[in-house]
Chain A
Amino acid sequence: MQKAMHELAEMDELAMRSSPIHELHPLAKLITTIIYILITLSYDKYNLSGLVPMLLWPILLFTISGIEVRICFYKLRIVLPLVMAVGLFNPFFDRAIMLRIGPLAVSGGVFSMLTLMIKGLYCLMASFLLMATTPIDSLCAALRQLHVPKILVTLLLLTYRYVGVMTEELAVMTDAYLLRAPGQKGIHISAWGSFLGQLLLRSMDRAQELYAAMLLRGYNQQFHYAEARPFRIRDALYLLGCILFFLLLRTVKVAQLLGGMLVR
């Protein structure tokens, strides 16, 4: 349980490391991530080979930022299967044969399923990399710079904190329960109702007090405390470079090019 308690705090910790990626302007990172996601989603649902090279960008980011791929998959272990499951039924609907490899016939449904899964994986990885290299407050500041309404940004920030508080409360309550229920694995089903109710009430109370603590120290939905750094040439170069890179991957059929080179 101790583990679960620190999941979000650990994201903060990752975000506070230092690397060339961490030092980039949050706005540059936010925009590139959004563009990456949009471009990834824009691929045709059968264009599996086109999507593969898009993996290059997350790999580059993992390498440069020093964030371990292992951590990424560990953090995403709950969402990832859900997102992947979306494409699971495609093979049943779309049975037209697209490709034959010897005796094996691959239907369009299989292609679109794989494409969807890969898209989901890429988008999650990109979001994770953004969160793991940018503190939540800087991210909020960047969103404000993009003129996302204050109320939405505050909502995002508070949700982030609320989820943190809730996992913490859950950890404390589970420990308290198990200490008084020796030999029991997990929480007995008869206690689930009151447990859940308590969890919500307690985390709401705590979130309220946390928000009060923010107000008492002058929080006015502006992010002075997220380092107001200038947007430097380096940031602009990164942004431009990434966009060009994405467009290149999107328009040039890298896979075919490579394939062609090999055959020749």
Chain B
Amino acid sequence: MIEFQHVSFGYEKNRQVLRDLSFRIERGEAVGLVGPNGAGKSSVMKLLLGLLEGEGQILVDGLPVRRDTLPEIRRKLGFVLQSSDNQMFMPTVYEDMIFAPLNYKLSREEAEARVDEVLARLGLEELKHRYNHKISGGEKRMAAIATILAMKPEAILMDEPSSALDPYNRRVIINTICTLPQTKLIASHDLDMILDTCERVILLSEGHIIADGPAEKLLQDRALLEANRLELPLSLVGRTPRNAAE
């Protein structure tokens, strides 16, 4: 479904952020993208959506990401931005959620039904008619995820979906992600969440793929993780969190 072929990219002339990146994600796969701050995770997603342009070839569903294919490709991909403030641009949560379905030519009734369904699934009915500037950071994050789910994309890209969420909502998101049948690419520092939601992990550092493999195997490799400024997921440490600090 998603394929990177020898992709290189830099924001400035002589500072490459991604170097000769190649990987493939099959349809229906759930892949976690991990790596230290500045590794290039967000850049990978923006390249995929055509928000940035690099060298090499990126394919979505066999379609190369190019200016003329962008509308079709963006139709297939739903992207949860790292910053929800920039994701929500309409006055209310409801209007934000209905924006994409209406753009994709659903009738108002269908679109409305879809919005209600997603809100119910996430337990957010209460947020529907709230103003985006009057909800908390975490509520906004949940609403941002809801707007993307209302799009019913074929693949979902999430940049730090669990940041700013309380443990309860974090769990709601994890459970929701697990029930989504779509292809998923999730960038996060929350390795416990990655472990719960993804079967495969790509470890990125300084623009290279350091490791790519089954989540359970990779996320148990303490040496590898610590060499890349990451830590074992708490659930795999085998001790209670309080003792883990020793």
A residues near B (Cβ < 8 Å) are 5-6, 9, 12-13, 15-16, 135, 137, 161, 206, 209-210, 212-220, 222, 224-225, 227
A-chain residues with CB within 8 Å of residue B79 when the two chains form the complex? 216
B240 in contact (CB, < 8 A): no
Q: Does the CB pair B89–A210 fall under 8 Å?
A: yes
Q: Does the CB pair B92–A225 fall under 8 Å?
A: no
Mask, B79-104, CB within 8 Å of A = 1, is 10101011101111001001110111
B-chain residues with CB within 8 Å of residue A218 when the two chains form the complex? 71, 74-75, 99-100, 103-104, 151
Q: Which of A9, A209, A225 makes the CB contact (< 8 A) with B99?
A: A225
B-chain residues with CB within 8 Å of residue A220 when the two chains form the complex? 71, 103
B131 in contact (CB, < 8 A): yes
B-chain residues with CB within 8 Å of residue A222 when the two chains form the complex? 103
Cα–Cα, bound, A209→B90 (Å): 14
**Known: A213-B89, A217-B147, A217-B151. Contact between A12 and B103, CB under 8 A?**
no
Tell me the dominant secondary structure on chain A's binding face: helix
Q: Does the CB pair A209–B147 fall under 8 Å?
A: no
A-chain residues with CB within 8 Å of residue B134 when the two chains form the complex? 9
Q: Does the CB pair B91–A217 fall under 8 Å?
A: no
Q: Does the CB pair A213–B87 fall under 8 Å?
A: yes
8 contacts across the A-B interface (CB closer than 8 A) = A9-B91, A9-B133, A13-B131, A16-B91, A209-B81, A217-B100, A217-B103, A224-B103
B-chain residues with CB within 8 Å of residue A210 when the two chains form the complex? 86, 89
Q: Does the CB pair B131–A12 fall under 8 Å?
A: yes
- How many of B's residues come within 8 Å of A, CB to CB? 32
A-chain residues with CB within 8 Å of residue B81 when the two chains form the complex? 209, 213
B13 in contact (CB, < 8 A): no
A-chain residues with CB within 8 Å of residue B244 when the two chains form the complex? none
Q: A15-B91, A206-B85, A219-B99 known; 12 other A-B pairs, CB under 8 Å?
A: A5-B133, A12-B91, A16-B92, A213-B81, A214-B99, A216-B49, A216-B77, A220-B71, A225-B90, A225-B102, A225-B103, A227-B108
B242 in contact (CB, < 8 A): no
CB proximity of A7 to chain B, nearest CB, Å: 10
CB proximity of B179 to chain A, nearest CB, Å: 22
B15 in contact (CB, < 8 A): no
B residues near A (Cβ < 8 Å) are 49, 51, 71, 74-75, 77-79, 81, 83, 85-87, 89-92, 95, 98-100, 102-105, 108, 131-134, 147, 151
**Known: A6-B133, A224-B105. Contact between A217 and B99, CB under 8 A?**
yes
Cα–Cα, bound, A214→B151 (Å): 12
A-chain residues with CB within 8 Å of residue B100 when the two chains form the complex? 217-218
Q: Does the CB pair B98–A225 fall under 8 Å?
A: yes
CB proximity of A135 to chain B, nearest CB, Å: 7
CB proximity of B133 to chain A, nearest CB, Å: 4
| Among A219, A222, A225, residue most surrounded by chain B Cβ atoms (within 10 Å) | A225
Q: Does the CB pair A206–B151 fall under 8 Å?
A: no
Q: Does the CB pair B133–A213 fall under 8 Å?
A: no
CB proximity of B155 to chain A, nearest CB, Å: 13
Residue of B nearest to A224 (CB): B102
Residue of A nearest to B91 (CB): A12
A-chain residues with CB within 8 Å of residue B92 when the two chains form the complex? 16
Cα–Cα, bound, A210→B84 (Å): 10
Q: Does the CB pair B105–A216 fall under 8 Å?
A: no
Cα–Cα, bound, A218→B95 (Å): 14
Cα–Cα, bound, A228→B75 (Å): 23
B-chain residues with CB within 8 Å of residue A224 when the two chains form the complex? 102-103, 105
Cα–Cα, bound, A223→B206 (Å): 42
Residue of A nearest to B79 (CB): A216
Cα–Cα, bound, A224→B103 (Å): 6
Q: Does the CB pair B89–A13 fall under 8 Å?
A: no
A-chain residues with CB within 8 Å of residue B95 when the two chains form the complex? 137, 225
Q: Which of B51, B89, B91, B132 makes the CB contact (< 8 A) with A214?
A: B89
Cα–Cα, bound, A6→B91 (Å): 11
Residue of B nearest to A161 (CB): B89
List the 9 closest A-B pairs by CB distance, nearest first. Answer: A218-B103, A12-B91, A217-B100, A224-B102, A209-B86, A9-B133, A225-B102, A225-B99, A213-B87
Q: Does the CB pair B133–A215 fall under 8 Å?
A: no
Residue of A nearest to B148 (CB): A217
Cα–Cα, bound, A253→B196 (Å): 78
CB proximity of A28 to chain B, nearest CB, Å: 21
